[in-house]
A and B are shown apart, each in its own frame.
Chain A
Amino acid sequence: MVNDTTRPALHIGEAVPGCKKIDPIIIADNVTRKFGGMTAVDVPHIEVPRNAITALIGPNGAGKTTLFNLLTGFDVPNTGEWSFNGETISGKSAYKVAQRGQVRTFQLTKSLALLSVLDNMKLGATNQRGEGLLHALLPWTWKAQEAEVEAKAVELLARFKLDTKKDDYAASLSGGQRKLLEMARALMSDPTLVMLDEPMAGVNPALTQSLLGHIVDLKAQGMTVLFVEHDMHMVQTIADWVIVMAEGKIVAEGEPSVVMQDQAVVDAYLGSNKDRDLGELVAEIKREVAAGADPALAGDDLSLEKE
């Protein structure tokens, strides 16, 4: 689980924001997304390395999930194009993106509550004949495939230690188990790229270890992983590459050990006042506001600190 220091380089040239990768799976250009007057995402260039685990980090509101939504077709950008596996997928619907092998999970887990755990899994399989309206009426045309899908689902559930729950409603699972189910379900489609939005959020420490193991496994099986996470320990442990966002922009990129020392990252993530006492800082901000400094600015600083 611990990073080996001898892994091959992923990037070309200097590790700066938007740097080129030796073997990129996603290449995006000029991606912007505005919500009213607020620019949520403004990324001139980003490349995600293939067969590596890339972490996308940044403070709340940095635009990580928005970028996820854009890349997976769940949101429409104001500008920008990107390609996946050499094929342009910008402007494609979410389901078409998924069909090309780029699957995602959600920050707020989307287990399908009133479907059994097994049905949740089976839904993840692609190219099912029985999902067509006419074939659905003719069970003998899809029964054989259904058995294959079920065997695969049971095997994956066993790997994720959910096999004893297979006939229960997904609604009866704990929050952590639902995270596992969502990840397992995504794997039913044999994806090329797995995008995980905060896989550790709300997961208890006992499950964290097994989740981390599963993510590292994905890479071992030849998949590429891009994940959003706040847990720095997790990022340090499993990521091969880290991309840092703040206020919609990429502020740093690099290997985890290097990027964590970057001043821009420390500023963006922990706030420029990370070494100061909170009470002292609040008092100073209040003095500045009273002295007629820009209150909006003071408010910004304060909100950053609270995170």
Chain B
Amino acid sequence: MSSDFTFIWVAVGALFDPITIAYALAALGLALHFGFTGLLNFGQAGFMTIGGYAFAIGAVKLNVGFFPSLLMAIAGAVLFALLLGIPTLRLRADYLSIVTIGAAEIVRLSVRTPEARPLTGGSDGLNGTGASFFALNPIPDTFSINLGPIHYTNDMVWVRLVGWITVIVAALIIWLLVRSPWGRVIKGIREDEDAVRALGKNAFSYKMQVLIIGGVLAGIGVIFAIMPSSLQPDNYGTQTTFFIWAIMLLGGAATIFGPIVGSMIFWATIAITEGFVSLGVKTGVLPITPVQSGQIRYMLVGLALMLLVIFRPQGIFGKKAEARFNG
């Protein structure tokens, strides 16, 4: 019996998982894009792909070590933001959404082509990207933590520790930014760009800064997800972008803690629903096959999101008044 309920430990583990870290940072970046500035970025997965591959190529192919690889990821995300932003940010908001969703797919399909295999590993992706990062680990090999049946090695603790410190630093930076006069300008752009331009602010420049900062967060975050496992191009398709949107809306679009807590709840919920569904299948309560159960859990997540949007449209941390005036 006890082994059937290990999924509860898996769900608790998911709260702090490197995947959760990656999505928290990507969703925080998206909150800056959409929640605070009104930019419709549907290509956050593209920023993750760019950041992930720039880092992985630096770490595995060029062997330049952790920090130079990190810088490559940041530079990659900045370049991608400039490439997307320069032609689209002067246009109406919807153009950015079309371009970003397309560009993210172009990036994913480009890195997984067989021709790019020597550099990107093609559809197999890249492994062992975390070697230089784990070499920096000051936690001794003998150290480990047991969470129920799950065993965390010193490297697993190390990546989570650095990852969450990064999340906290990023949240602090975004918090400082949005409560400053700079933040007032970007919120003004969200409400009405022309009004802000009429007050003498260079709206294009602010939108570009926002696109870069939010994209870099996604590009850095993904590193924590790929270092302990591997970089797979198909993990960063449009579904990823929509998960990030779901996480951001779940927590509250124009909030700092929303995307972070949203990511934790999202991944824990996925683990719990998966556990319950497979338990139901095993005991015969649910008349479905194990293959179908994989789809069922996403339906349950979808249902949960619908209920959230209906009953708490501002998200968990959002202000109720904002949703009222929006509707």
Chain A residues within 8 Å of B, Cβ to Cβ: 72, 74, 93-96, 98-99, 103-106, 110-115, 119, 122-124, 126, 128-133, 135-137, 139, 142, 146, 169, 171-172, 182, 185-186, 188-189
Contact = CB atoms under 8 A, between A and B. Distances in A.
Nearest to A105: B198
Given A112-B191, A136-B182, A103 B177 contact: no
Interface string B248-286: 000000000000000000000000000000000000000
Contact of B181 (A93, A99, A131): A131
Contacts of B201: 95, 123, 131
B156 interface: no
A112 B38 CA distance: 13
B326 interface: yes
A139 B180 contact: yes
Interface in B279-327: 321-322, 325-326
B193 to A, nearest CB: 9
Contacts of B190: 114
Interface in B172-193: 173, 176-177, 180-185, 187-188, 190-192
A154 to B, nearest CB: 16
Nearest to B321: A169
B75 to A, nearest CB: 18
Contact of B325 (A137, A142, A169): A169
B93 interface: no
Given A95-B201, A172-B325, A114 B187 contact: yes
Interface residues of B, number: 29
15 contacts: A93-B202, A98-B197, A98-B200, A119-B184, A123-B184, A123-B185, A126-B200, A130-B181, A132-B182, A133-B182, A135-B180, A136-B177, A136-B180, A139-B180, A146-B181
Contacts of A74: 194, 197-198
A126 B322 CA distance: 27
A142 B185 CA distance: 15
Given A122-B184, A136-B183, A142-B180, A110 B194 contact: yes
A70 B197 CA distance: 14
Contacts of B200: 95-96, 98-99, 103, 126, 189
Contact of A114 (B177, B195, B199, B326): B326
A139 B176 contact: yes
B180 A130 contact: yes
Q: Interface on chain B toward A: helix, strand, loop, or mixed SS?
A: helix
Contact of B198 (A106, A131, A132, A137): A106
Contacts of B107: none
A137 B192 contact: no
A112 B182 contact: no
Nearest to A73: B197
Nearest to B194: A110
A104 to B, nearest CB: 5
Interface of B: 173, 176-177, 180-185, 187-188, 190-192, 194-203, 209, 321-322, 325-326
Contacts of A137: 173, 176-177, 180
Contacts of A131: 180-182, 184-185, 201
Given A133-B209, A137-B173, A137-B177, A95 B321 contact: no
A124 B184 CA distance: 11
Given A136-B176, A189-B199, A114 B181 contact: no
* Residue among A103, A110, A111 facing the most chain B CB atoms (10 A cut-off): A110
B202 to A, nearest CB: 5
B191 A114 contact: yes
B163 to A, nearest CB: 22
A72 B198 contact: yes
B181 A115 contact: no
B203 A95 contact: yes
Contacts of A142: 180-181
Nearest to A145: B181
A110 B322 CA distance: 17
A87 to B, nearest CB: 15
A112 B181 contact: no
B131 to A, nearest CB: 33
A96 B197 CA distance: 9
A207 B54 CA distance: 60
